[in-house]
Structure 1
Amino acid sequence: MNRAMRTILCAALAFLGAAAPGLGLSQENGTTEKTATPLALVATIDGAIGPATARQVANAIEEAAGRHADVLVLRIDTPGGLVTSTRDIVSDILASPVPVAGYVWPGGGHAASAGTYIIYATGIAAMAPGTNMGAATPVSMGGGMPGTPKGPGSENEGGNKTGDSASPSNEEALAKKSTNDAVALIVSLAEAHGRNAGWAEEAVREGESIGASKALEIGAVEVVAQDLDDLLAQIDGREVLTNGKIVTLATANARVEHLEPGFMTELLALISNPNVAFLLMMIGVYGIIFELSNPGSFGPGILGAICLLLGLYALNQLPLDYAGAALIIFGLALMMVEAFTPTFGIAGFGGLIAFIFGAAILVDSDTPEFQLSWWTIGITALLSVALLVFLIGYSWRALRRPVTTGAEEMQGAEARVLEWSDGEGYVHVHGERWHARGPAGLVPSSTVRVEKMDGLTLVVS
């Protein structure tokens, strides 16, 4: 090789050596190293767990996966929520390709009830000082805490002994099934992530709740962090179970980005409030009633249809009591009967009673955030009463109003004779010339009274 070729080769090698750091190449161990700054995405769950929360978490996991984030942090402060939405969130977290960390935050916040299940589903469970979690006992249909079945030799409320052969009531059986199902879920989550399964079971069966330091001491959580930066620093290098695989976290000096809920999530959060959904449905129903009673006024009908569809969609996301829904539909049907076939309040007030009872039991949830307010029920009931009174008054006035058209209106009207001969002729009435018959002695310009109409001929006297 001549001197010129050696010079060119050395220059090329020098260029590649200088470019290697920019290309992310390293000769050490013959591997490719990741030099990009780690990315941590943060989604905040604040308030009751419902359909909007489930959608928010699903969207956050999807975005974290699409952006190849190193970790997704769920900051949680919730009193609990709906069972169906909680299970959807747990399923999404377990299937997430991106490691998910649950962080009870801020100080004074809590992850109660449904929040405890979500924390236990995440790969890293963390709490801020001054927070607590637990109280995960399912609430019974009647609103009380379901107790465990009474043991041998215990006494029931009537003072009678109950033995091993005594079968629990249906309510107790349902409560026991619900509690056992919840225990099985949270224990399986605890075992998957190596957390304290015993305390988790107590949180479900006995409603136990613990603070951050105690949770760390007994192994219910892995980290107690002052803030988000502290959390990311502490979990760096930890191994977590993610979608069935062990992943090592790289979160030191991570770039943090907060994920805000999208428009559809915000809309769902608004309309999935039972009070908003109920009001939307009522506006829709009355808008359609007004449209049907006044054909051609397209505005109320279009607005009513939109509100009704939004209300029905929102209610479909909630646990409905179908007996309540049936009572509401029956009550509205009776109100519509009153609107189109006046019964002087009988159908209308019967529909109002059915409507109130149906609204009171419409949403089958003991979570206060997902129950219809009595204020909402009372206001809609009063508006319905006002509408019924208006309809009844309008109907009564319409029945007492004199007839203004047709043969009935002509009866008793005064007419002036224009021409007359042999008991018939022509008269002038209401600005029109009519053929008439009557007494033979009538003369022009005399005044007569219309007795009735016989076809197109007036009978006068």
Structure 2
Amino acid sequence: MRKGIGLASLLVLLFSSVVFAAEKAIVLDINGAIGPATQDYVKRGILFAQKERAAVVIIQLNTPGGLETSMRGINEAIITSPVPVITYVAPSGARAASAGTFILYASHLSAMSPGTNVGAASPVHLMQEPEKGDSKTLSTAQQKAVNDAAAYIRSLAELRGRNADWADKAVRQGASLSAHEAKRMKVIDEIADDYPQLMQKLDGRKALVQGVSETVKTKDLQLEKMPTDWRYEFLSFITNPNIAYILMLIAIYGIFFELSNPGLVLPGVAGVISLLLVLYAFQLMPINYVGLTLVLLGIMFMILEVYVSSFGALGIGGVIAFIIGSVMLFDVNNPYYRLTWVLILSMSIITIAFFFIVISLAIKSHKKAIVSGQEGLIGAEGTVLSVMNEQVVVRLLGEIWEAKSPVMLEAGQKVKVTDIKGLTLVVIPTEGKEKKSGE
């Protein structure tokens, strides 16, 4: 009897915990450009909602656009999510432009706050506007990008039962809509001033979740916001193109200095850490590997200029390759993932100045007199220790040498080396009385 009561109590507790956990909505806040950090944040948010048995996930969206690869990763997470995802463009004045439009269309349910807008989903920034929507004025690459994006957003519209024709227009012509127009044209499901109104208006809506039609219950849900954490901030930092570019240069120069001067330690440590960080960042970013190769080739040419006499040809070629590679390094069609010209020019000037200084020091070192080895003894001064017939012993630079001289020398006399024959020094006196041989 007691076992039966205990089992019943356990089942009641489990049922209560499940019901309590289901009365929750996880809120994710996307405010800014869509990138690798955003993709990671949304994926972790959906997994967290699934673990917490939340009823829905709400993405509060305000974005000017971002990376296509990150946007597609977010949409994949939304489409395959076992928890219904609601995208809410808010607060008033926010927008779901470019990549944001695709995310809005991929969501199970969508809503906008008054005073917001959606659209301008063209995948490329065209050099010139096509006349009357004539795609023939676009390059082949642009046509492919536009057609691919249009087909993708149409498939999302068909999946969610939204306006596919306007979606196509948003991609091909960059069309935009206000919140009320978007509601009227069936681009979104509802307009809501705030979260309580959003929960009330979307309650009881049907949504296709993992291929199964479900009734979404949003009334009286407890909102639990999942804030961005250190992981999000860290990914945002290292996937910033300008930061990744600086890390790459620190890695290259740090390792170069360590290999050139073993034992300095600090450049090597900084170089290896930066190298690992930049390799991780490059996995998440749209890297142009031709541009990366040109940057590395340019630096290699400038280094070779130090060791190979090319009369500046390698150095100039390296500078040109470095600048072109820096411009090509990231996707220049995306305004949120390109290097600033100020940084490119600054790094180019610093690199040129650095290698100019290194080359100047190398040239000066070649012009200096040799101060080591046998050649370094020429002109050195020493003292005669003993003279026996023509056999002279001198002390030179703390060492004892055999020497000979064209003149007679005396012990204690100062001499200077004029030549070396084998292991014998040829010396002449620098002070004292000179005596000719045989005198």
Is 1:225 the counterpart of 2:192? The answer is: yes
Q: Could you tell me which of 275, 286, 305 is aligned with 1:319?
A: 286
Q: 1:292-335: per-residue Cα shift (whole Å, max 9, x none)?
A: 12101112101111112212321332222222112101011123
Task: Determine the structure 2 residue equivalent to 1:161.
Answer: none
Deviation at 1:430? 2.4
Deviations 1:281-300 (A, max 9, x none): 01111111111121011121
| Unaligned stretches of 5+ residues in structure 1 | 1-8, 10-14, 27-32, 152-167
- 2:57 is the counterpart of 1:72: yes
Amino acid at match of 2:141: L
Match of 2:411 in 1: 444
SS of 2:348 mapped into structure 1:
helix
* Shift in alpha-carbon separation, 1:21–1:84, aligned structure 2, 3 A: closer
Match of 2:171 in 1: 204
SS in 1 for 2:91: coil
Partner of 2:329: 362
The worse-fitting range, judged by mean Cα deviation, of 254-263 and 57-66 is 254-263
Amino acid at match of 2:23: P
Q: Give the match for residue 82 of structure 1.
A: 67
Deviation at 1:354, TM superposition (A): 1.1
Pairing 1:40–2:25 present: yes
Structure 1 residues 37 and 253: CA distance shift in structure 2, 3 A: farther
Are 1:174 and 2:159 counterparts? Answer: no
Say which is worse superposed, 409-418 or 69-78, in terms of deviation. 409-418
Alpha-carbon distance in 1 for matches of 2:13, 2:47: 29
Q: Contact between 1:112 and 1:133, CA under 8 Å: does it hold in 2?
A: yes
The answer to whether 1:283 aligns with 2:250 is: yes
Alignment CA distance shift 1:312-1:369 (3 Å)? same
Structure 1 SS opposite 2:403: strand
CA gap of 1:98–1:148, structure 2 versus 1, over 3 A, is farther
Partner of 1:303: 270
- Give the drift of 1:143: 5.0
Report SS of the residue matched to 1:260: coil
Aligned to 2:437: none
For the residue of structure 1 that corresponds to 2:300, the secondary structure is: helix
Residues 424, 438 of structure 1: 8 Å contact kept = no
User: Are the equivalent residues in 1 in contact too, given 2:381–2:415 (CA < 8 A)?
Assistant: yes
Question: 2:190 corresponds to which letter in structure 1?
Answer: V
- Say whether residues 1:63 and 2:30 are aligned partners: no
| TM-score w.r.t. length of structure 1 | 0.84
Structure 2 equivalent of residue 243 of structure 1: 210
Deviations 1:8-53 (A, max 9, x none): x9xxxxx99xx99976999xxxxxx946661000101111111111
Which deviates more, 371-380 or 425-434? 425-434
Q: Contact 1:223–1:234 at 8 Å: present in 2 too? A: yes
Tell me the alpha carbon deviations over residues 131-155 of structure 1, each in whole angstroms, 9 at most, x when there is no partner: 0000112215x6556778859xxxx
**Alignment of structure 1 residues 391-406 onto 2, 5 Å:** 391-406=358-373
For 1:90 and 1:37, the matched residues in 2 are separated by 23
SS in structure 2 opposite 1:370?
Answer: coil
The answer on whether the counterparts of 1:342 and 1:392 sit within 8 Å (CA) in structure 2 is no
Report if aligned partners of 1:345, 1:392 keep a CA contact under 8 Å in 2.
no
Root mean square deviation of aligned Cα: 2.8
Contact 1:44–1:75 (8 Å) recurs in 2: yes
Distance in 2, matches of 1:178 and 1:275, equals 26
Q: Distance in 1 between matches of 2:308 and 2:131?
A: 52
Tell me which moved more, 319-328 or 295-304. 319-328
Count of residues in Structure 1 that have an aligned counterpart in Structure 2: 423
> Comparing 127-136 with 340-349, which one deviates more in the overlay?
340-349
8 Å contact 1:452–1:458 — kept in the other structure? yes
> Who is 2:77 aligned against?
92
Give 1:189's match in structure 2, choosing from 156, 169, 179: 156
The match for 1:137 is 122
2: distance between equivalents of 1:22 and 1:322? 59
Q: Which moved more, 1:365-374 or 1:278-287?
A: 365-374
- The structural deviation recorded for 1:59 is 0.8
Q: Name the counterpart of 1:333.
A: 300
1:125 lines up with 2:110 in the alignment? yes
2: CA distance, partners of 1:58 / 1:37: 19
